[in-house]
Amino acid sequence: MALEEIVVTEAIAKTYFEKFQSAINLDVAIVGAGPSGLTAAWKLAQKGFNVAIFERKLSIGGGMWGGGVTWNIIVVQEEGKHVLDEAGVPLKEFKKGYYTADAICATTTLASKATLSGAKIFNCMSVEDVVLREIEGEKRVTGIVINSSPVEIAGLHVDPVVLNCKYLVEATGHDLEVVNTLIRKNDVRLNTPSGKIEGEMSMWADIAEPHTVENTKEVFPGVFVAGMAANACFGSYRMGPIFGGMLLSGEKVAEEIADRLS
């Protein structure tokens, strides 16, 4: 068969913008394609919701992708093991209650489960702001403001576009980028003890892991925090390359949002 380059261009452009158009009105927008974001997208898409992930980097996986200090092995404790079991990721018991998995396998498998379930992933896409509306006397996030990451990195003055969403999941990790923008630009209070971002604390995995799940909740009308972003928002510890809490956080946020959408 003779190949025509112009047909390749047409195929990419037409198919991409069909995917993009299907994301203009989302049930759930997830910012960050780390383990909690990928798990949440998989579980929500499984239930038939229109969900998309927006990832600033070219690659997906967040902290899971590199394991610990680029040694691409992760650890999952007993409580979170069932998520990777369900996904089909091979696990090895290292010691009682501690399981190891190949970081590349875990990341790509979660991404595959999410996309094959119907979730859309847009990489090289930055969420630079949110859409804020007052509904029945209450301010609420109703959308995201997106731009191309290369535009942002180059510092070009190019205007963004807007997508609607019923719920937004902040899963950007330690930086808590979306909630920081929400606080910086608007006179609003969060559902935290101080009404502001409490801030991330130092390493204490035994406390951080259960707190990651406990802190996964709605922090502002329409906005949930998940994964390390949840601990940074509510003032708990970091946990390093153990990922059970991240997986359980993604599972929890998907369940809570699905209940509301249903």
pLDDT tens digit sequence for 185-243: 998 999 999 999 999 999 999 999 999 999 999 999 999 999 999 999 999 999 999 99
On whether residue 96 sits in a domain, the answer given is no
DSSP lists the bridge partners of residue 133 as 140
Task: Look up the CATH number of the domain holding residue 225.
Answer: 3.50.50.60
On whether residue 219 sits in a domain, the answer given is yes
Q: What value does the mean pLDDT of the chain take?
A: 97
30 confidence band (pLDDT: 50, 70, 90) = very high
Range of the domain at 153: 25-72+103-261
For residue 146, CA distances in Å to 29, 124, 244, 262 come to: 11, 10, 30, 27
On whether residue 46 sits in a domain, the answer given is yes
On whether residue 195 sits in a domain, the answer given is yes
**d(C-alpha 39, C-alpha 248), whole Å:** 8
3-state secondary structure at position 190: coil
For residue 137, CA distances in Å to 46, 134, 140, 189, 258 come to: 34, 6, 10, 15, 25
Q: What pLDDT was estimated at residue 228? A: 97
On whether residue 173 sits in a domain, the answer given is yes
Closest CA to 235 of 259, 208, 206: 208
On whether residue 153 sits in a domain, the answer given is yes
- pLDDT tens figures, 97-147: 999 999 999 999 999 999 999 999 999 999 999 999 999 999 999 999 999
Number of domains in the chain: 1
* CA atoms 251, 249, 40, 29: torsion sign: positive
On whether residue 87 sits in a domain, the answer given is no
On whether the pTM is more than 0.75, the answer is: yes
Q: What pLDDT was estimated at residue 74? A: 97
The residue-averaged pLDDT of 12-25 equals 98
On whether residue 98 sits in a domain, the answer given is no
